[in-house]
Amino acid sequence: MVTIDKDNQISMTRGDSWSAPVFLNKGTSIKPLRYYLKNQDKVFLAIMEPNQPFECAIVKKTFTNLDENKNGDVVVRIDPDDTCLLVPGLYYYQVKARLFKDDKEI
């Protein structure tokens, strides 16, 4: 069973799968404006043990514009194979985006 609370804390059982849309905002918090991924853009999801940096994640996933839903939000997902070997405990997750404009990273 997977639950995501109002503080974006995810509780899940090892071997479960889940997915969630990620709204990429190129506007402001007052006037949000959806950013649509371009061909070179990538969104990364990492799951880390406590006190570990993003680069040392034990689960790393990459998503592109092919993973967008009908609203244009990137849908990040965890498959059963991603977590089936994890030891039960506390983990942290982070989502980062690598975005390009005119073939230059922004």
Q: How much of the chain is helix, strand and coil, in % rounded to 5?
A: 10, 40, 55
- pLDDT tens sequence across 19-41: 999 999 999 999 999 999 999 99
Residue 25 DSSP code:
B
Burial class (CB in 10 A: 0-12, 13-18, 19+), 95: middle
| Maximum separation of any 2 CA atoms in the chain, in Å | 44
pLDDT computed for residue 74 by the predictor: 96
Which of 31, 46, 27, 47 lies closest to 87, judged by CA? 47
Question: Structure pTM?
Answer: 0.86
- pLDDT tens sequence across 55-95: 999 999 999 999 999 999 999 999 999 999 999 999 999 99
